[in-house]
Amino acid sequence: MEFFRFRRDIPFMSWGKYTTTISLLTFIIAVFFLATKGLNLGVDFTGGTVMEVGYSQAADLNKARNTLAGIGMPDASIQHFGNSSDVLIRLPTKPEISSAQLSEVVMKALRQEDNTVEMRRVEFVGPQVGEELVENGALALLIVSLGIIAYLAMRFEWKFGVAAIIANLHDVIIILGFFAFFQWEFSLTVLAAVLAILGYSVNESVVVFDRIRENFRKMRKASVEQVIDNAITRTMSRTIITHGCTQMAVCSMLFFGGEALHYFALALTIGICFGIYSAVLVASPIVMLLGVTREDLVKIEKKETKEEAVP
């Protein structure tokens, strides 16, 4: 079986104008939603308390809401979680009640009303911890980006590092844009997914760049544009199959992973889809735009073979 049968190289680079426009547009839209709607940050980042409780039958949200209002928590958000018998309760931080006791107070009130209720999960994050997590998250994003640029600059050339990271940050922004637009909850696990995507979709660019380097050596007479077109076309099959396989694993998580992994898998899905697009149609045009030449890579290549020759 062979899915991809390209008779000749696909002129990706000549579409550069359109793809760059599309990328720019999606990017701007994503930034727009991020700016206007903002991320629906989970309790990990904002601080506060989240409780998941399970009832033996379908839960009556209004009743629970009234109960909580009765104990002075009208600002609690209550919603179904996963199925009708599970309920998720979000409580903002209350200065007057010790946060550690908050969940106990709520649980007691709920139990009085229906004693089948079972505590499934409580997460309380102090505001100070939340701030730190935001800080660390941003720092991790920065370090990953710099690390990748440095590695690619060493292995290829700085232009490739910059192009790859722009392409991937573009993916990250788009993932964030989706989360902002749909107001999906952005939790620590989602952040992990975003960072994993950052590392993962760089693979994509790396594979293409590797081919570009190889082609510069082999296709002596071809123009830079032809070289890149050929590299993308010939790695296309692998790109789609690999991403397809990863997506299969992610879909499995989406279907069987339950609520806890839902947004994690969703973030990965968006990341994978845009990862394909950006590796092919964002990273490479940027490399072109940055004015990559044969000498950039062939020179490096020579050095490398020399190093490799020394045992």
Partner 1 sequence: MNRYPLWKYLIVLVSVLLGLLYTLPNFYGESPAIQISPMRTTDKADTSLLARVEGILKKNNIPVNGMLFELNSVKVRFSDTDIQLKAKDILQAGLGNGYVVALNLLSESPQWLTDISALPMYLGLDLRGGVHFLLQVDMKGALSKSLDRFSADIRSSLREEKIRYKRVSREGLQIIVKFRDLESRDKATDEIKNNYEDLSLREHDLEDEFHLAVSLKETALKRMQDSAVQQNITTLRNRVNELGVAEPIIQQAGADRVVVQLPGVQDTAKAKDILGRTATLELRMVDEEHDVSLALSGQNPSDSELYTERGGGPVLVKKQVMLTGDRINDAQPGFDNNNRPAVHLNLDSNGARTFKQLTRENVGKRMAILLIEKNQKEVITAPVIQEEIPSGRVQITGNMSISEARDISLLLRAGALAAPMDIIEERTVGPSLGAENISRGFNSTLFGFAAIAIFMTVYYLIFGFISVTALGVNLLLLIALLSILQATLTLPGMAAIALTIGMAIDANVLINERIRDELRNGISPQAAISAGYERAFGTILDANITTLIAGIALFAFGSGPIKGFAVVLCLGILTSMFSAIMVSRSLVNLLYGKRRKLETVPIGQVWKPTNNKR
Q: Which of residues 216-235 bind partner 1 (CB under 8 A)?
A: 234-235
SS3 of residue 40 by DSSP: strand
Smallest gap from residue 194 Cβ to partner 1 (A): 10
**Residue 93 lies near partner 1 (rule: CB under 8 A):** no
- Write the CB contacts of 254 (distance below 8 Å, at least 6 apart in sequence): 261, 262, 265, 266, 269
Select from 245, 289, 299, 302 the one that contacts partner 1 (CB under 8 A): 245
In a 10 Å sphere around its CB, with 0-12 CB exposed, 13-18 middle and 19+ buried, how is residue 101 labelled? Answer: exposed
100: number of Cβ within 10 Å: 11
Select from 13, 33, 45, 52 the one that contacts partner 1 (CB under 8 A): 52
Select from 38, 70, 72, 147 the one that contacts partner 1 (CB under 8 A): 147
Select from 98, 112, 116, 223 the one that contacts partner 1 (CB under 8 A): 98
**Residue 39 lies near partner 1 (rule: CB under 8 A):** no
Select from 15, 32, 182, 255 the one that contacts partner 1 (CB under 8 A): 255
Of the candidate spans 23-31, 59-67, 114-122, 279-287, the one that interacts with partner 1 by CB under 8 A turns out to be: 114-122
Smallest gap from residue 3 Cβ to partner 1 (A): 8
**Residue 56 lies near partner 1 (rule: CB under 8 A):** no
Residue whose CB is less far from partner 1, 123 or 181: 123
CA 137 to chain centre: 13
And the tokens for 39?
A: 């991320």
Q: If phi over 0 gives left and psi between -120 and 50 gives alpha, with beta otherwise, what is residue 158?
A: alpha
- Write the CB contacts of 107 (distance below 8 Å, at least 6 apart in sequence): 51, 53, 117, 119
**Residue 169 lies near partner 1 (rule: CB under 8 A):** no
And the tokens for 200?
A: 């993962």
**Residue 13 lies near partner 1 (rule: CB under 8 A):** no
Number of residues that bind partner 1 (CB under 8 A): 78
Smallest gap from residue 90 Cβ to partner 1 (A): 15
Of the candidate spans 14-22, 34-42, 64-72, 243-251, the one that interacts with partner 1 by CB under 8 A turns out to be: 243-251
Residue whose CB is less far from partner 1, 104 or 295: 104
Backbone angles phi, psi at 51, to 5 degrees: -125, 140
Select from 41, 91, 144, 175 the one that contacts partner 1 (CB under 8 A): 144
Select from 88, 89, 228, 268 the one that contacts partner 1 (CB under 8 A): 268
**Residue 118 lies near partner 1 (rule: CB under 8 A):** yes
- Write the CB contacts of 279 (distance below 8 Å, at least 6 apart in sequence): 167, 201, 204, 205, 207, 208, 239
Residue whose CB is less far from partner 1, 234 or 294: 234
And the tokens for 143?
A: 């370090």
Please give the Cα distance from 250 to 266 (Å, whole number): 8
And the tokens for 215?
A: 């082609």
Select from 24, 25, 58, 249 the one that contacts partner 1 (CB under 8 A): 249
**Residue 125 lies near partner 1 (rule: CB under 8 A):** yes
Which residue type sits at 42?
G
